[in-house]
């Protein structure tokens, strides 16, 4: 195998210049690793990884604009990920289960070598779904305040309270917010499990609705109903969904 074929293409993502410099200097002992880019925030990271398609990513967790979990959710699981983090122990438990490895800041050369070795062994293997990883790092009863969606190299952020409804489309969900729809690669069941059940309800096998958006329910054919939202959108309601929706709306009165 030629030296070109042996190159491991890497991207370093951290909002602190000093932290990126530490990783870069430690990599000087590894000429087989080529640093393609360094990113100081999540938006830069998503763009760089999407365009460059590296083999290895060094990823910080606490960053502005998008955190490391959101970046991982958007870039996919095709590359090896080494987390570099000063995060709490709850999150570290998730890393131990899901990640190639993590480096707890501040880390030294020996620990870095271990992480890089593990990453090389796992190179090309897929991580678990990023949505599952993000859920594992939340404390019980915690729900996300926003949803991130990638559109090519661009990132859209949807605040949870501005999500009107979600519609299943095969392995994707269409997220309706403020008159627009954003397509995200995620199953509707996975999305449902991440949302606060006090605010969102599965009214049909293909639809989740923001309960605050429901204006009324009307009959639609035999044994079926539709939910009419405040903006006029009309969503199908299954028989079981109708029972759940009726119960919740009655409690709100």
* Lowest mean per-residue pLDDT among 75-84, 94-103, 165-174, 242-251: 94-103
> What is the average per-residue pLDDT within 120-137?
65
Structural domains in the chain plus CATH codes? 3-136 (3.40.50.2300), 146-252 (2.40.50.1020)
- At residue 187, the pLDDT reads 92
Give the residue, 74 or 235, on which the prediction is more confident: 235
Cα 39 to Cα 72, 145, 146: the distances in Å are 14, 24, 22
Q: Please determine, for residue 238, whether its predicted confidence score (pLDDT) is greater than 50.
A: yes
Q: Give the pLDDT score at 249.
A: 78
Contacts of 202 (CB under 8 A, 6+ apart): 188, 192, 208, 241, 244
Mean pLDDT, rounded, for 191-204: 94
- For a pLDDT cut of 90, what percent of the chain falls above it? 57
Q: What value does the mean pLDDT take over residues 147-166?
A: 94
Query: Please, what is the average pLDDT of the chain?
Result: 87
Q: Which of 234, 223, 70 is nearest to 167 (CA)?
A: 234
pLDDT for residue 152: 86
- Point out the least confidently predicted range of 3-7, 165-169, 200-204, 211-215: 3-7
CA 50 to chain centre: 15
What Cα–Cα distance (Å) separates residue 142 from each residue in 25, 138, 193, 196, 223?
38, 6, 11, 8, 36
Asked if pLDDT for residue 4 goes beyond 70, the answer is: no
> CB neighbours (10 Å) of residue 82?
23
In angstroms, the CA 207 to CA 236 distance is 8
Q: Is 36 exposed, middle or buried (0-12, 13-18, 19+ CB in 10 A)?
A: middle
DSSP per-residue codes, 155-218: EEEEEGGG--EEEEETTEEEEEETTEEEEEES-HHHHHHHS-TTTEEEEETTEEEEGGGEEEEE
For residue 250, pLDDT beyond 60: yes
71-99: pLDDT as tens digits: 888 887 778 889 888 876 656 665 665 67
Confidence of residue 153 (pLDDT cuts 50, 70, 90): confident
Please give the average per-residue pLDDT across 229-240, as a whole number.
95
Mind listing the pLDDT tens digit for each residue in 93-122?
A: 656 656 788 888 899 999 999 999 988 888
Q: Which of 68, 70, 132 is nearest to 105 (CA)?
A: 68
In this prediction, residue 104 carries a pLDDT of: 87
């Amino acid at each position: 195998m030629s030296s070109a074929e042996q190159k491991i293409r890497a991207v370093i993502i951290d909002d602190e210049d000093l932290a990126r410099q530490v990783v870069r200097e430690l990599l000087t002992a590894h000429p087989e690793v080529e640093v393609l880019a360094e990113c100081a925030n999540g938006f830069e990271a998503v763009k760089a990884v999407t365009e460059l398609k590296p083999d290895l990513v060094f990823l910080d967790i606490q960053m502005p604009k998008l955190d490391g979990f959101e970046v991982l959710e958007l870039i996919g699981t095709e590359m090896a990920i080494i987390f570099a983090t000063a995060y709490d122990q709850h999150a570290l438990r998730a890393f131990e289960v899901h990640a190639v490895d993590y480096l707890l800041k501040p880390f030294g050369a020996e620990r870095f070598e271990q992480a890089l070795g593990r990453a090389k062994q796992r190179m090309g293997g897929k991580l678990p779904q990023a949505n599952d990883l993000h859920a594992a790092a939340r404390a019980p009863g915690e729900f996300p305040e926003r949803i991130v969606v990638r559109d090519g190299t661009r990132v859209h952020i949807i605040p949870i309270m501005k999500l009107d409804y979600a519609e299943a489309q095969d392995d994707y969900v269409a997220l309706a917010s403020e008159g627009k729809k954003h397509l995200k690669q995620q199953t509707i069941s996975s999305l449902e499990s991440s949302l606060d059940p006090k605010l969102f309800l599965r009214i049909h096998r293909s639809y989740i609705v923001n309960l605050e958006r429901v204006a009324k329910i009307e009959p639609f054919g035999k044994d079926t109903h539709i939910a009419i939202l405040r903006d006029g959108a009309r969503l199908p309601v299954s028989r079981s969904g109708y029972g759940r929706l009726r119960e919740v709306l009655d409690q709100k009165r």
